[in-house]
A and B are shown apart, each in its own frame.
Chain A
Amino acid sequence: MSEQQFHLDTVEHAAQTPDTELPWAELGLKKEEFERVVEILGRRPTAAELAMYSVMWSEHCSYKSSKTHLRQFGEKVSEEMTKDLMVGMGENAGVTDIGDGWAVTFKIESHNHPSYVEPYQGAATGVGGIVRDIISMGARPVAVMDPLRFGAIEHPDTQRVVHGIVAGVGGYGNCLGLPNIGGEVEFDPCYQANPLVNALAVGVLRHEDLRLANASGTGNKVVLFGARTGGDGIGGASVLASESFDDSKPSKRPAVQVGDPFAEKVLIECCLELFHASLVEGIQDLGAAGISCATSELASNGDGGMHVDLSSVLLRDPSLTPGEILMSESQERMMAVVDPAKTEDFEAVLEKWEVEYSWIGEVTDTGRLIIDWQGEVIVDVDPRTVAHDGPVYERPYHRPERQDEIQADHFTGSAADTGRPAGERLKEAVLELMASPNLCSRDWVTDQYDRYVQGNTAMAMPDDAGVIRVDEQTGLGVALSTDCNGRYAYLDPYAGAQLALAEAYRNVATSGARPVAVSDCLNFGSPEDPEVMWQFAEAVRGLADGCLEIGVPVTGGNVSLYNQTGEEAIHPTPVVALMGVLDDVRRRTPSGWDASADGQAIYLLGSTAAELDGSEWARLRGHLGGQPPAVDLAREKLLGELLINMSRDGMIDSAHDVSEGGLAATLSEMCLRFGIGARIGLGEVADRDGVDEFTMLFSESQGRAVVSVPRSEEVRFKDMCTMRDYPYARIGVVDVVSDALDLMGAARIPLPELREAHESTLPRFFG
């Protein structure tokens, strides 16, 4: 053992030296926060305690700016919407009962900033982190999804970021054996130095396998297993390199965490075997704030006490100080609580999988989290004060000065609104839309992800939702979609959040699944800017109100703030991930018609108004202003019920929602899905809705979907729409021979031309 290179700051020493200057500001604590720590402890904190409080009270871990708003997700709920919820917000991930003894857990999280610094590793470890959240609920991870947002496609730095992030998501997820079943890709200058990498993971478990992060049972052993602890992710906290703060030691602490997907794959299998044999009482993954977080959360969620010997932690870098060990964010680690009678069996499983472990402590009934380092006490705290009693801020917020001006700047009549195409020129317009960076084919990205592994993928991109079979005998499964339109949210964050919810709801219902749960990833700028804080507050209020109205609870999620460069914040981007349940995934509805649908009638559900503000058409013309499309969640719910019932009763063979890019995008994508054309006539429905053909095609009115209906089902289909009083219109017919999207009386777009336009954009930019 090398000699200790630092002076140990023990609890005893701290009590005797109250006046020692501590680097609380460098660790990101505010003066009042530091004073609060001193008040809680009744003395100055030790270096190790300071490390713990500073990371656990950070925005990232404590949600101190957002907490006061997020409460609405727990308050705006009805009994009906939470009846299937087994575990709600606050745990690693929410858990929903889907019937037959099965439960599903899913969660979406951000890894934005690390993915800008080092795109490959940032994205990879983002996937790794969310997957460990799922494992720690006792679930087998079964799929991932990744909503990605990049800067302008033509910006030189976008190349680096796109290649790195996509390869990182794939490199990690593929190696874990998790099918990637969907996500989003958006390009917008507002994300230039702030790409958004959100990662979702979903896992399944039997009810009896549910595990929670708590340390109960005095005398139970605490074990740390998986990768060794290195200096990862504590570069910014190098002030702790010298624990006595009076001498300086050269510090090389990497700010970048490097992922090891192989280690994580082995960890997954190892954990599942542990769960299967009931060898752990409680379990927690190590993510942000590492051991600080795991010990304080396990202890405060359990009987309230834990005694840990930090010297027992296996280290990759022996020069780490206790404070650094507590803060390290090394990946692929787990902490578990094990009954002393089961430690031998536990060790046998870990040895089988060649996973390293060390017993680091035990559960106590003292109500204190005590951490020793080589025989001396360096932490003695009430774990609740670290994990749960962090500061809560009521940050000031106000509607931006410019908001009225922005909302008054409608696309229609603006300088950008020139030369709306009609007739034959609609062909060019549709091709331009379908080749645009935000509506072109995502194959360049999604072909780098394994969607087949595990053999339960019933649907993946480019369909509206990813669909995974849970029970191989009954076909019971889940559908998932993630959605957000940051442009809508910029125009009106309250409506924008609800529009994200509406689209996710529509996508899941379109696949035939019954929506049951939401997880959200709220990406915003700095909460210290009152105008950004207003966007955040409005979006949360909108989403909470929306979830109550539509009857689906928020089960967990993540907040990512400070996504801004200088004064420029990203568009408010509240990404909504929604999960639905399908009794039998083999009955899911694909998002396009195949050759066997030849001659089927094509119907448009819903009605169209002149809503071009914030649309993709306006984006192509360089315009962002006005009001986003009107959102009516009661109508969305009704549309959802129609789609689910029609799918179950075999009335529709394909269905695709209408969202970004309007009907033009929906019809193009339905034709391209299996390369089968259609003849479409929009005159009648345009007259009915009082809009012209251009508006019919490019408006982004909500509550709409396109379906194909077998001839034999048309009567029942129309009866059902009439009965539910939902507008419908027959707009065309599936036509194999046409080999085109034929907008009759206006423009004929041959499918090869449409495909070429749609598929060549990303390869042109990214090779």
Chain B
Amino acid sequence: MSANTFETPLVADLSAPGADPALKDVRVGIVTFPGTLDDRDAARAIELAGGTAVRLWHADDDLQRVDAVVLPGGFSYGDYLRAGAISRFAPLMARIVDAAGDDGGLPVLGICNGFQILTEAHLLPGSMIRNDHLKFVCRDQRLRVENASTAWTGDFTAGQEIVVPLKNNDGQYVCDQVTLERLEAEGRVVFRYLGRNPNGSLNDIAGVTNARGNVVGLMPHPEHAVEPGFGPDSTGSGPVAKGDGTDGLGLFTSALNALVNGSSAGSATTDGGTRA
């Protein structure tokens, strides 16, 4: 059964200038698992960035020829067992693992619970455990973009500071020493927390990528910093009024631009109907 449609119009102000009309042809799949929460937000982010959001249902077997995939945040299956541990066995995840793997190169972004699913699915190394202070934390988080050459960060510059909301219970990034050293050596730490480490993550790691750079996962929520008036009260360059922080938009425009301009990490074509 296919996913239901969004019951209210999603996008606030499309009269705003900017987006390249070619981006509209880029189809980005937003996967909904039972318990996913930020799927509407992720779809809105894709639309605001100029692309077309396509809703995907976890139990389907078809990627609907999307050009990229976002695994949004939430508490899929209530985070029961372990965050992401049940979702990663969804039929659609098998398609995504195939398409994003070495032969595919499909751009995939995992946000928060989506990041946890990607680590459970072994598309990304490491894992997330309970925050060191044992509490859920929601705050506007300053980050540094460490790697601006992944499929999702091309519109940033390396070293750029951004502010996006962070909100989670299990956000402490952990991995073994060998993996950690490899991630650092290969520049695969994509985002790093600035200021006080919010959850005890190793080396202040907020987000990582795979070797090819098409799969990125991060704990903070860029989709909550895409629309003026509904984001954080600050950006990487300082305070702004009334929730006008939109630093998160860069992740989504990065993927769309890369796909349109055919950069190295993007332009994967996938046929969800078959599997080797």
Give yes or no for direct A-B contact (beta carbon below 8 Å).
yes
Which B residue sits closest to A595, measured CB to CB? B239
For residue A456, CB closer than 8 A to chain B, the reply is: yes
Q: Are A266 and B233 in contact (CB under 8 A)?
A: no
Residues of chain A within 8 A (CB-CB) of B4 are 273, 276
Q: Are A472 and B10 in contact (CB under 8 A)?
A: yes
Q: Is residue B212 contacting chain A, with contact meaning CB distance below 8 A?
A: no
Known: A174-B75, A261-B78, A590-B242. Contact between A167 and B138, CB under 8 A?
Answer: no
| Known contacts A455-B40, A594-B241: A354-B34 contact under CB 8 Å | yes
Q: Within 8 Å CB of B136, what residues of A?
A: 167, 170-171, 174, 448-450
Contact B242 A266 (CB under 8 A): no
Interface residues of A in 440-479 (CB under 8 A from B): 446-459, 469, 471-473, 475
CB–CB A449/B35 < 8 A:
no
How far apart are the CA atoms of A467 and B226 in the complex, in Å?
18
Q: Is B37 an interface residue (CB 8 A)?
A: yes
A348 on the interface (CB 8 Å rule)?
yes
Chain A residue numbers with a CB within 8 Å of B233 are 594, 674
The reply to whether B75 and A265 contact each other, CB–CB distance below 8 Å, is yes
CB of A352 within 8 A of chain B? yes
Closest residue of A by beta carbon distance from B232: A452
In this complex, what residue of B is CB-closest to A351? B1
Min Cβ gap B118→A in Å is 20
Q: Which residue of chain A has its CB nearest to the CB of B165?
A: A452
A52 CB within 8 Å of chain B = no
Chain A: CB-nearest residue to B38? A453
Q: Mark B33-51, 1 if CB is under 8 A from A, else 0.
A: 0110110110010000000
List the A residue with the shortest CB-CB distance to B198: A447
Closest beta carbon of chain A to B108's beta carbon, Å: 21
User: Which residues of A164-191 are within 8 A (CB) of B?
Assistant: 167, 170-171, 174-177
Contact residues in B for A446 (Cβ distance below 8 Å): 138
Q: Tell me how far the C-beta of A203 lies from the nearest C-beta in chain B, rounded to whole angstroms.
A: 12
Query: Which residues of chain B have C-beta atoms less than 8 A from A111's C-beta?
Result: none
Q: Which of A260, A452, A459, A471 contacts B78 (CB 8 A)?
A: A260
A589 to B41: give the CA distance in the assembly, Å.
24
Is A140 in contact with chain B by the CB < 8 A criterion? Answer: yes
Q: Let me know if B11 is at the binding interface, CB within 8 A.
A: yes
Main secondary structure of the interface of A (DSSP, over half): mixed
Contact between B37 and A472, CB atoms less than 8 A apart: no
Judged by a CB distance under 8 angstroms, whether A334 is at the interface is no
Residue of A171, A473, A588 ringed by the most chain B CB atoms within 10 A: A473
Judging by beta carbons under 8 Å apart, are A674 and B1 in contact?
Answer: no
Q: Is the CB of A458 within 8 A of B230?
A: yes
Min CB distance A210 to B, Å, is 15
Q: Which residues of B contact A449 (CB under 8 A)?
A: 136, 138
Indicate the member of A260, A352, A472 with the most B CB atoms within 10 Å.
A472
- Kindly supply a per-residue 1/0 record for chain B positions 138-177, scoring 1 wherever the CB is within 8 Å of any chain A CB and 0 otherwise: 1100000000000000000000000001010100000000
Interface residue tally for chain A (C-beta within 8 Å): 49
Given known A-B contacts A352-B1, A454-B40, A594-B241, A175 and B137 have beta carbons under 8 A apart: no
Q: What residues on A are CB-neighbors of B223 within 8 Å?
A: 455
Per-residue CB contact flags for chain A residues 267-298 toward chain B (1 = under 8 Å, else 0) read 00000110010000000000000000000000
A window 216-272: CB within 8 A of B: 260-263, 265-266, 272
Residue of B whose beta carbon sits closest to that of A177 = B37
Are B7 and A276 touching (Cβ within 8 A)? yes
A262 x B242 contact (CB < 8 A)? no
The count of chain B contact residues (Cβ–Cβ below 8 Å) is 44
A264 CB → nearest B CB, Å? 10
Residue in chain A with minimal CB distance to B57: A352
Against B, the Cβ 8 Å flags (1 = close, 0 = not) of A353-393 are 11000000000000000000000000000000000000000
CB–CB B241/A450 < 8 A: no
Asked if A586 meets B1 with Cβ closer than 8 Å, knowing A472-B12, A595-B239, the reply is no
Name the CB-closest residue of B to A354: B34
B167: chain A residues within 8 A (beta carbon): 174, 450, 452-453
- How far apart are the CA atoms of A450 and B224 in the complex, in Å? 11
| A586 and B138 contacting across the interface, CB-CB below 8 Å | no
**By the criterion CB–CB under 8 Å, are B1 and A348 in contact?**
yes
Do A453 and B41 contact each other (CB < 8 Å), given the known contacts A140-B7, A170-B136, A276-B7? yes
Closest chain B residue to A273 by CB distance? B4
Residues of B within 8 A of A450 (CB): 136, 138, 167
Which chain B positions have C-beta within 8 A of A448? 135-138
CA distance in complex: A276, B8 (Å):
11
Q: In the assembled complex, which residues on chain B have CB atoms less than 8 Å from the CB atom of A20? A: none
Query: CB distance B224 to A452 under 8 Å?
Result: yes
Complex contact A455–B239 (CB within 8 A)? no
Question: Nearest Cβ in chain A — how far from B25, in angstroms?
Answer: 23
Contact A265 B9, CB 8 Å, known A273-B4, A448-B135, A452-B221: no
Cβ contacts under 8 Å, A273 to chain B: 4
With both chains docked as a complex, state the minimum distance between the C-beta of B58 and any C-beta of chain A, in angstroms.
Answer: 11
Is B37 within 8 A of A265, CB to CB?
Answer: yes
- Tell yes or no: A596 within 8 A of B by CB: yes
Q: Which residues of A are found within 8 Å of B242, using beta-carbon distances?
A: 458, 586, 588, 590, 594
A459 to B227, CA, bound (A): 14
Which residues of chain B are within 8 angstroms of A590 by Cβ–Cβ distance?
241-242
CB distance from B275 to the nearest CB of A (A): 23
- Nearest chain A residue, comparing its CB with the CB of B32: A269
| CA of A471 to CA of B7, assembled, Å | 11
Cα-based distance from A471 to B78 in the complex (angstroms): 29
Q: Say yes or no: is A585 at the interface (Cβ < 8 Å to chain B).
A: yes
| Interface contact A265-B35, CB-CB below 8 Å | yes
CA gap between A276 and B75 in the complex, in Å: 24
Cα distance A99–B228 in the bound complex, in angstroms? 24
Q: Does B107 contact A (CB under 8 A)?
A: no
CA distance A455 to B11 in the complex (A): 11
Determine whether B243 belongs to the interface, using a CB cutoff of 8 Å to chain A: yes
Q: Mark B99-114, 1 if CB is under 8 A from A, else 0.
A: 0000000000000000
Q: When chains A and B are docked, how far (Å) is the Cα of A26 from the Cα of B44?
A: 55
Residues of B within 8 A of A348 (CB): 1
What's the Cα separation between A448 and B138 when bound, in Å? 6
Chain B residue with the shortest CB-CB distance to A352 = B1
Given known A-B contacts A266-B34, A452-B221, A586 and B80 have beta carbons under 8 A apart:
no
Interface centre among B1, B9, B230, B243 (most CB of A within 10 A): B230
Nearest neighbor of A457 in chain B, beta-carbon distance: B230
Q: Does B229 count as interface, using CB distance less than 8 angstroms?
A: yes
Chain A residues whose C-beta falls within 8 Å of the C-beta of B80 in the assembled complex: 262
Q: Name the residue on B nearest A590 (C-beta).
A: B242
Residue interface bits A589-611, CB-to-B below 8 A is 1, else 0: 01000111000000000000000
A175 touches which of B7, B35, B230 (Cβ 8 Å): B35
Residues of chain A with a CB closer than 8 A to B11's CB: 472-473
CA–CA, A449 and B139, complex, Å: 9
* B137 cross-chain contacts in A, Cβ below 8 A: 447-448
Q: Give the CA-CA distance A472 to B10 in the complex, in Å.
A: 6
List of A residues within 8 angstroms of B227 by Cβ: 455
Contact A585:B37 (CB < 8 A) given known A448-B138, A472-B11, A472-B12: no
- B1 to A456, Cβ gap below 8 A? no
Closest residue on chain B to residue A209 by CB atoms: B7
Give bound CA distance, A90 to B189, whole Å. Answer: 56
Residue-wise, chain B 63-97 has the 8 Å CB interface mask toward A (1 for contact) of 00000000000110111100000000000000000
Within 8 A of B (CB), among A132-154: 140
Closest 10 CB pairs of A and B: A262-B78, A177-B37, A452-B224, A455-B41, A175-B75, A586-B229, A448-B136, A450-B167, A472-B12, A452-B165
B interface, CB within 8 angstroms of A: 1, 4, 7-12, 34-35, 37-38, 40-41, 44, 59, 74-75, 77-80, 135-139, 165, 167, 169, 221, 223-224, 226-230, 233, 239-243
A-B contact pairs, 7 of them (CB 8 A): A140-B7, A174-B136, A177-B38, A265-B35, A266-B34, A447-B139, A450-B138
20 further A-B contacts with Cβ under 8 Å, apart from A261-B75, A262-B75, are A171-B136, A175-B79, A176-B37, A262-B34, A265-B75, A276-B7, A352-B1, A446-B138, A448-B136, A450-B138, A452-B165, A453-B224, A471-B9, A472-B10, A472-B11, A472-B44, A473-B11, A475-B12, A674-B233, A674-B239
